[in-house]
Amino acid sequence: MLAVNMSEGKTEVPYGTLDLLILKTLDTMGSMHGYRIARRIEQVAENLLRLNQGSIYPALIRLEQQGWIRTQWGISETKRKVKFYSLTRAGLKQLSIEVANWERTTALVARFLGAES
């Protein structure tokens, strides 16, 4: 249910990978609020990928309910009370699982593509 912008040759967020992107972002950058997470993902993707920034919030609540990230109240740059998200120990473990899964999947797909060409 990611909102996708198909224009300008930008890729949609591959299904199920937003969780991975968020977890990895938090792993690398530490605690940060929703807007920063969205911006960071966009920056790393270097305009290859465009996501509706809002779509990270449903993903965040789910990750929080799973116990993979935790929230703390903090103050934003605009002096507003916002939630800061950070990785939990379980989240770290989940990240390694998802990374491994992802690598297996891409390796598998790469092998198929390699065999055909």
Partner 1 sequence: MKLRAAVARVRALYSRRKLDRELDDEILAHLELAERDAIAAGLKPEEARQSARRSFGGIEEMKEDHRDRRSLRWMENLLRDFRYGMGSLAREPGFAAVTVGLLALGIGANSAMFSIVDAVLLKPLPFPEPERMVRVWETPPGLRNGTTTLTFLDWKRQRDIFEALSVENSTRAAVATSGDPERVSGKLVSADYFQVFGVKPQIGRTFARGEDQPGAPPVVVLSHAFWRTQFAGDPRVLNRDLVLDGEPHRIVGVLPAGSFDRDEAVFWKPLIFAPDQMNRGQHWLTPVGRLRAGVSLEQARAKMTVLRASLDGVILLKDWGFTVDPFAQILVGDTLRRSIYLAFGAVVMVLLIACANVANLALAKGANRRKEMALRAALGASRGRLIGQLVTESLVLCLLGGTAGAALGAILLHVAAPLVAASLPFTADLSMDLRVLGFAAAAVMAALILAGLLPSLRTSFGKLSSALNQAARGSSGSSAAVRRTIVIGEVAASVVLICGAALLFKSLAKLRQVDAGVRIDHVMTMSVDLPSAAYPSPDSAARFYESVVQRLQAVPGVEQASVSQGLPLQGVQWGEGMVLPGMRENLLVRLKLVDPWYFGALQIPIEAGRGIENRDRAGAPPVVVISQELARQFSKTFGIGNPIGRTVGIWVPGYGPIPESLVKLQIVGVIRSERTAGLNAPPELVACVPLAQAPRQDIKLVVRTSSGPETAMPAIREAVGQVDSTLPLGDVLTMEQVKERSILWARQPTWVVGAFAGVAVLLAALGLYGVLAHAVTEQRREIGIRMALGARSGDVLSHIFRSAFAMLIMGLAGGLAGAFALTRVLKSLLFQVSALDPVAFAVGCILMTLVGLLAAWIPASRATRVDPMTVLRDEG
Q: For residue 113, state whether it binds partner 1 (rule: CB under 8 A).
A: no
Rounded to whole angstroms, the Cα distance separating 39 from 26 reads 12
- Minimum distance, C-beta of residue 115 to partner 1, in the bound complex (Å): 37
Main-chain phi, psi angles of 2, to 5 degrees: -80, 135
Which residues sit opposite 74 in a β-bridge? Answer: 82
Q: How many residues bind partner 1 (CB under 8 A)?
A: 29
Q: For residue 38, state whether it binds partner 1 (rule: CB under 8 A).
A: yes
Q: For residue 76, state whether it binds partner 1 (rule: CB under 8 A).
A: yes
Rounded to whole angstroms, the Cα distance separating 35 from 85 reads 11
Q: For residue 101, state whether it binds partner 1 (rule: CB under 8 A).
A: no
